[in-house]
Amino acid sequence: MSKLKVQCFGVSLDGFAAGPHQDLQNPLGLRGPELMEWFFPTRVFQKMVGKGEGENGVDNAMAEQGFVNIGAWILGRNMFGPVRGPWPDENWRGWWGEEPPYHVPVFVLTHHPRPPLTMRGGTVFHFVTDGIHSALEQARAAASGLDVRVGGGAATVREYLRAQLIDELHLAIRPVVLGAGENLWRDLDMSALGYECTKHVAGERALHVFLRRKAGS
Ligand SMILES: NC(=O)c1ccc[n+]([C@@H]2O[C@H](COP(=O)([O-])OP(=O)(O)OC[C@H]3O[C@@H](n4cnc5c(N)ncnc54)[C@H](OP(=O)(O)O)[C@@H]3O)[C@@H](O)[C@H]2O)c1
Is residue 134 within a helix (H) or strand (E), and if so which, with residue range? helix 132-143
Nearest CA to ligand 1 atom 21: 76
Any long-range contacts for 93-96 (C-beta under 8 Å, 24+ apart)? 93/117, 93/119, 94/119, 94/125, 95/27
pTM over 0.75: yes
d(CA 106, CA 150): 10
Measured distance CA(30)–CA(44) in Å, rounded:
24
Directed axis angle between helix 132-143 and helix 154-162, to 10°? 90
pLDDT in tens, 145-192: 999 999 999 999 999 999 999 999 999 999 999 999 999 999 999 999
Cα(56) to ligand 1 centroid in Å equals 30
Backbone angles phi, psi at 78, to 5 degrees: -70, -25
Calpha distance 36→41 (Å, rounded)? 9
Residues 31-85 have pLDDT tens digits of 999 999 999 999 999 999 888 789 999 999 999 999 999 999 999 999 999 999 9
DSSP 3-71: -EEEEEEEE-TT-EEE-SS-BTTBTT-TTGGGGGTTTTTBHHHHHHTT-S--B-SHHHHHHHHTTTTEE
Ligand 1 mean position to 26 CA, how many Å? 14
Calculate how far, in angstroms, residue 108's C-alpha sits from the geometric centre of ligand 1: 9
